[in-house]
Amino acid sequence: MKIFSAEQIREADQFTIQHTPISSSDLMERAAGKCVSWYEDHFTPDHPVYIFCGKGNNGGDGLVMARLLQQHGYTVNTFILQHSNNPSKDHTLKLQQLTDHYPSSIHSIGDLSDFPELPANAVIIDAIFGTGMSRPVEGWLAGIIHRINDHRLQHTIVSVDLPSGMIADESSVHFPVIQAHYTLSFEFYKLAFLLPENAMLTGEVHILPIGLSPEYISNTPTRYHLTDSTIIKTIYRPRTPFANKGTYGHALLIAGSYGKIGAAVLSAKSCLRSGVGLLSCYVPQCGYDIMQISEPCAMCIVDENTHYNTHFHQGMESARYKAIGIGPGLDTQTATAKSLERLLAVWKSPMVIDADALNLLSIYPSLLQEVPKNSILTPHPKEFERLFGSSQNDIDRLELLSREAVSRHLYILLKGRYTAMACPDGSIYFNPTGNPGMATGGSGDVLTGILTGLLAQGYSSKEALLFGVWIHGYAGDLAAAEHSQEAMTAADIINGLGKAFQEGI
Ligand SMILES: NC(=O)C1=CN([C@@H]2O[C@H](COP(=O)(O)OP(=O)(O)OC[C@H]3O[C@@H](n4cnc5c(N)ncnc54)[C@H](O)[C@@H]3O)[C@@H](O)[C@H]2O)[C@@H](O)CC1
Ligand SMILES: Nc1ncnc2c1ncn2[C@@H]1O[C@H](COP(=O)(O)OP(=O)(O)O)[C@@H](O)[C@H]1O
Ligand SMILES: [K+]
């Protein structure tokens, strides 16, 4: 699914009005009608509705909702914020229609003292600003936003299109923004919804299709995308009937140190459960028995050192692995760094680099230059900061992520609720699957195994990345459904992989 900027959304609206048989007034009726249908499914007429409207088209949506809800038997009070003397054309039209039918329901707010008392069971609808927000809200308008937020614990707040004050494709951190319980957004996810810094502002997001032009949507290129099952279906390649294990590649996982052999085991198991043909695991001596007993389907190569890996570069000039994954539980010993340096000197195919291997790259930045092109780096936010430095806000961090991916020709993902995946061509994909139950030790090791397994099977780095992160989150969602977010462990994500491949594609 494409993620459009506020400007592109305006263009999509205009294109739809010009090229399909619908007027802008009717498009607004349709958009507000969708919100009203959603609203009626969630709230009964026992709750009086307090709708706050701005003077643009977002306010216009609110005015249509006020009329439709009253037609459907709801008690509605509409408050128009007088922040401008230039209402939009459709706002003016919809205000006239509301005035014609329900004049006594309309009130005006010119400053903070006009803010109404709300009855205990009222629901607030926020239709103040939508995609037209271009700068922070200030003065008494900011006061109104704070006043609405003060009601958050007692009253449900439903925002139309965007929580007012939030800018669709920029950072709104430290700006006054409505803290909604629900956001009913039209047609597209907005970039702002995917930023961790906005997590407390949107509440539950519901995307309501309003029939914007499919022609505009498919012909307009975007930088940002949300991975969905349509994309995943184009990536997935079913196994062929005459396949043998050689068809699906031989992967090497370099992982584990004393006390962290579990990380290597988790990666190995998930790699095998992702369809790899053959798997070898390179571990220190302390990991040999553990690995052989825990995962008999993997072969084991043992380092000369007892506690950590020191010689995994040996013989790699002529090794025939299809993919290497390195990092889970690796530790950051100097001898491990030396071996990594020598590995990078001879290994030129894409690798998956995670955890302590990333930490080694931040300790020895010159190694970062040697990482093969098209490799996949999988930092969580702390590892990312160690590697590339800190940022002012989430948009700056996305820019930094993308800059590093483009300039180094790498795929870099930034883990989180909507893991962001930056590609060397400048595009950024967000992944919607997964849940907070995956915020548990070992989840990332499982991802490394999956990515390495897919890369070994011949998926390109981009395909392995989008597919792997999707299926990892999907398996995590199945694990949470079975065990709860609290009780699930990283091992449950691996157990969910079978069903995820069956149902999640
Ligand atoms: N035909 C269309 O274009 C459709 C538009 N729709 C709605 O229209 C919205 C976009 O409408 P608009 O482009 O009119 O924009 P908005 O209604 O989001 O905001 C524009 C108004 O806010 C004011 N404003 C912006 N930033 C401000 C600030 N920081 N402080 C004070 N005032 C500020 C502007 O002066 C203008 O009056 C969407 O979010 C959606 O809700 C929907 O009805 C779907 C169809
Ligand atoms: N709240 C969340 N929603 C969705 N996915 C999450 C959430 N928290 C963590 N995850 C996923 O779980 C994984 C955690 O990885 P990481 O932090 O590296 O764990 P570890 O180092 O313990 O293996 C990442 O893929 C991340 O995207
Ligand atoms: K709004």
Question: 219 and 19 in contact (C-beta within 8 Å)?
Answer: no
Separation of CA 470 and ligand 1 centre (Å): 34
- Specify the CATH number for 2-222; select among 1.20.1050.140, 3.20.20.70, 3.30.930.10, 3.40.50.10260: 3.40.50.10260
Where residue 239 falls (left for φ over 0; alpha for ψ -120 to 50; beta otherwise) is: beta
Structure tokens that stand for 372 in this block: 């093969």
User: Residue 427's pLDDT band (boundaries 50, 70, 90)?
Assistant: very high
Separation of CA 471 and ligand 2 centre (Å): 13
Task: Kindly state the average pLDDT of the residues 15-39.
Answer: 97
Separation of CA 486 and ligand 2 centre (Å): 14
What pLDDT, on a 0 to 100 scale, did the predictor assign at position 436? 98
The domains spanning 2-222 and 229-236+246-503 adopt the same CATH topology: no
Structure tokens that stand for 311 in this block: 């010689």
What pLDDT, on a 0 to 100 scale, did the predictor assign at position 47? 98
Question: Rounded mean pLDDT of the chain?
Answer: 97
Question: Of 10, 34, 57, which is best to mutate to test ligand 1, by the most ligand atoms within 8 angstroms of its C-beta?
Answer: 57
Residue 34, CB-side half-sphere exposure with 13 Å CA sphere: 19
- pLDDT at residue 401 is higher than 90: yes
Q: Is the CB of 382 under 6 A from ligand 2?
A: no
Separation of CA 393 and ligand 2 centre (Å): 20
Please check if 334 is assigned to a binding site. Answer: no
Asked whether the CA dihedral 23, 26, 28, 30 is positive or negative, the reply is negative
Q: Is the CB of 273 under 6 A from ligand 2?
A: no
Which pLDDT tens digit goes with each residue over 30-82? 999 999 999 999 999 999 999 999 999 999 999 999 999 999 999 999 999 99
What pLDDT, on a 0 to 100 scale, did the predictor assign at position 373? 98
Separation of CA 498 and ligand 2 centre (Å): 20
What pLDDT, on a 0 to 100 scale, did the predictor assign at position 153? 96
- pLDDT at residue 134 is higher than 90: no
Task: Kindly state the average pLDDT of the residues 294-317.
Answer: 98
In Å, what is the CA distance from 95 to each residue of 25, 83, 114, 164, 483? 12, 15, 19, 20, 51
Task: Kindly state the average pLDDT of the residues 329-347.
Answer: 98
Please check if 416 is assigned to a binding site. Answer: yes
Predicted model pTM: 0.96
Structure tokens that stand for 113 in this block: 């003292």
Q: Is the CB of 485 under 6 A from ligand 2?
A: no
Which pLDDT tens digit goes with each residue over 246-272? 999 999 999 999 999 999 999 999 999
Asked whether the CA dihedral 38, 40, 41, 44 is positive or negative, the reply is positive
Domain ranges of the chain: 2-222, 229-236+246-503
- DSSP conformation letters of 449-461: HHHHHHHHTT--H
When comparing pLDDT for 246 and 339, which is higher? Answer: 339
User: Rounded CA gap, 251 and 225, in Å?
Assistant: 29
CA-nearest residue, atom 32 of ligand 1: 83
Q: Which residues contact 459 (CB under 8 A, 6 or more apart)?
A: 235, 237, 467
What pLDDT, on a 0 to 100 scale, did the predictor assign at position 217? 97
Task: Kindly state the average pLDDT of the residues 392-411.
Answer: 98
Which pLDDT tens digit goes with each residue over 80-99? 999 999 999 999 999 999 99
Question: 66 and 86 in contact (C-beta within 8 Å)?
Answer: no
What proportion of the chain, given as a percentage, has pLDDT over 70? 100
Please check if 26 is assigned to a binding site. Answer: no
Degrees, nearest 5: CA angle 146-149-151: 125
CATH superfamily of 229-236+246-503: Ribokinase (3.40.1190.20)
